[in-house]
Amino acid sequence: MVTAITKLFKQLLEGKDLGNQSTTDPNLAIACLLSEVAGADYQIDESEKVAKVHLLCRLLNLDEASAKALLSRAQDKNKESASLYDFTSQLRELSQETRFELIQAMWEVANADGKIDPLEDAVIRKTAELLYVDHQAFIQAKLAVIDKTKP
């Protein structure tokens, strides 16, 4: 994030047009959000990596190789990003149902290692707010994931 802010200041000082910045495609934005939640607690477990690939395959109808390539691009993009808004702004055109599925997928990544860290919760909460997913749906998605993993 610091790199992105530094880059923005350099562009301002050089007088560059900030309106011509490249935009993120929706699939990349989804991959970035899944990566953000996995890295929120600064520990990316192998189960979280597997969950991200599986969820991208399911959500975007990708094969495993394409999902892994997309996640690799997402990791680079996350390093340049200043905030979650960089990604959520690309996804506002999605249907409410699709936004709910994305929030639920984020919960699945967060819970892949068997525990949901408060930092992961915060990333998902902020994403839900930015995507206009109401609190009831946010909680419903969380409970659905937790209930699915109970023995």
d(CA 134, CA 1): 27
Mean pLDDT along residues 139-145 = 94
d(CA 45, CA 39): 9
Percent of the chain clearing pLDDT 90 (strictly above): 62
- The one-letter code for the residue type at 107 is W
SS3 at position 55: helix
For helices 118-130 and 26-39, angle between their N-to-C axes, nearest 10 degrees: 150
Architecture of domain 2-12+24-149: Orthogonal Bundle (1.10)
- Whether residue 110 contacts residue 116, with contact meaning beta carbons closer than 8 Å, is answered with yes
Percent of the chain clearing pLDDT 70 (strictly above): 83
The overall average pLDDT reported for the chain is 85
Q: Where are the domains of the chain?
A: 2-12+24-149
In the predicted structure, residue 28 carries a pLDDT above the cut 60: yes
Report the pLDDT value the prediction gives residue 79, as an integer from 0 to 100. 86
Predicted confidence (pLDDT) per residue in 58-69, tens digit: 999 999 999 999
Which backbone phi and psi does 115 adopt, to 5 degrees? -150, 145
